[in-house]
Amino acid sequence: MFYTIIGTQWGDEGKGKIVDWLSTKASFVARFQGGNNAGHTIKINKKTFKLNLLPSGIIRGKKCIIGNGVVLDPWALVNEIRLLKNKGLKINKKNLFIAENVCLILPIHKIIDEINELYLGKANIGTTKKGIGPAYEDEVGRRSIRFCDLNNTDLLKEKINKLINYHNPRLKKYNKTISSKKILKELLLISNFLKQFSSPVWKVLNKAANTNKVILFEGAQGALLDIDFGTYPYVTSSNTASGQIFSGTGFGVKKNHRIFGITKAYTTRVGSGPFPTELNNEIGDYLIKNGHEFGTVTRRKRRCGWFDLNLVKQSVIISGITDIVLTKLDVLDDLDYIKVCIAYKLKNNKYNYLPVNELDQKNVKPIYKTLKGWKKSTYGIKHWKNLPLNARKYVNFLERILETKISIISTGPERNQTIDKKNILRNI
């Protein structure tokens, strides 16, 4: 059996906890896109683990894969491994496999990222400035330094020189040029450590599938940040929908593939871009405070708003989502009423999806359905029948409109603060 975890909104839906929870039954956990702009937080008893590159299954000692669809900051990876080892985790070539053809993020990509954001001014995307976008641009431009290049110093030197010579003329305008010798020297200092993880991960994954191993694919960011189907241009630089798992790992299409859409019980967003249900009022402030809505990577305050059924429904359809995982239900506990966006109004037209044009996205007005709050604590509840009646009505309403079963409900950050409504773990 194969499972994929996808965020259905603009990221920060709580994917890390759910991957950790589901990985109890998995043999492999694989990342297939994004880079260290992802931020997955896992809380176990009194320990908190914050992951940016490593798949969340590493916390449970699972075999973890970084696929070719990821762009890899090698220094960030070394640092993340070091921090986790200091917390008692074992990470070695037996439980971490990195695709030979993964493209690297270099210091020059971070510089370009900063320049790009400055150039855009008030129209900036709000990137993490970790070099993700420029690294993907170089991959598409066939200029990238790949993980396999670490095996040949002469080739590595040649490719770095070509890359730097390509970018430096533009950087001169900003007095930001960088030395190819410096990059080569810094890469060589860590290359011997990193090369032990190099692997043809497409072979590893497909062999595992053929021997009936349970594989869990871990998405980063959210479906609404997809480079093709997100709120363009305010998106990430990779495909975040479930289809990316195949080209992002080399895993072939198989039967028995279940796709979980991780969905926050309200909506949040970090950075710029349209947000039809955003609340710039006391309720928005309440969601920020009670939901601890600050980015794992950026620490920026997240924008908050009501649940948007139109956007989640789009994500469900595009990613072929079979199950919804509803997170942070407990954050809504103290509200007298809860609104859900069921459609948009634009001029004289009504939409049940977000129009693709960015001006239309900016100008749509949400049409709401108002539901009664439950005014009781749901924090830590582990059984569906123990939820307050109005909380169950809220979940049932979302499920009915989404036409997708809500199989799991998270009622807190800990592993055991989870309602397994459809007995998922038991049946894996």
- Residues serving a catalytic function are 12, 40
Same fold, 2-91+201-427 and 103-195: no
Over the Cα atoms of the chain, what is R_g?
22
- Is the pTM above the cut of 0.85? yes
Q: What is the pLDDT of residue 123?
A: 61
- pLDDT by residue (tens digit) across 184-214? 999 999 999 999 999 999 999 999 999 999 9
Q: What is the DSSP string of 67-95?
A: -TTBEE-HHHHHHHHHHHHHTT---STTT
CA angle 122, 124, 130 (to 5 degrees): 140
Q: What is the pLDDT of residue 174?
A: 86
Pairing of the two strands 406-410 and 323-327: parallel
Q: What is the pLDDT of residue 219?
A: 94
Q: What is the pLDDT of residue 24?
A: 86
- pLDDT by residue (tens digit) across 261-285? 999 999 999 988 999 999 999 999 9
* CA–CA separation, 167 and 173 (whole Å): 11
Class for the domain spanning 2-91+201-427: alpha beta
- pLDDT by residue (tens digit) across 77-108? 999 999 999 988 899 999 999 999 999 999 99
Contact yes or no for 77/53 (Cβ under 8 A): yes
For the chain, what are the domain ranges? Answer: 2-91+201-427, 103-195
Q: Which of these, 241, 190, 202, 198, lies nearest to 220 by C-alpha position?
A: 241
- pLDDT by residue (tens digit) across 355-390? 999 999 999 999 999 999 999 999 999 999 999 999
For the domain bounded by 103-195, which CATH number is listed?
A: 1.10.300.10
The stretches in the chain having pLDDT less than 70 are 119-127, 295-299
